[in-house]
């Protein structure tokens, strides 16, 4: 697996779970964003896996 992809996954996960510096989306609707975080991560993982397999 490409090291850069691992870094991107970690940064994305940190952004989705960071509570000390909320994103505008989380400030706008905290409950919705928390509920969607796992779905966004699953979708991101699926896209990365698909991209790796298609390469």
Residue ranges of the domains in the chain?
3-54
Q: How many CB atoms lie within 10 A of CB 26?
A: 20
pLDDT band at residue 4 under the 50/70/90 scheme? confident
What is the spatial distance between Cα 19 and Cα 55, in angstroms, rounded to a whole number? 36
Tokens of 42: 């699953």
pLDDT > 90: what percent of the chain? 0
Q: Which SS3 state, helix, strand or coil, does residue 29 take? A: coil
Please check the confidence at residue 39 and state whether its pLDDT lies above 60: yes
């Amino acid at each position: 697996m490409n090291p850069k992809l691992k870094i991107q996954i970690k940064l994305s996960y940190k952004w989705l779970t960071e509570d000390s510096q909320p994103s505008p989306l989380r400030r706008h609707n905290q409950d919705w964003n928390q509920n969607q975080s796992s779905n966004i991560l699953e979708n991101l993982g699926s896209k990365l896996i698909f991209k790796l397999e298609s390469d």
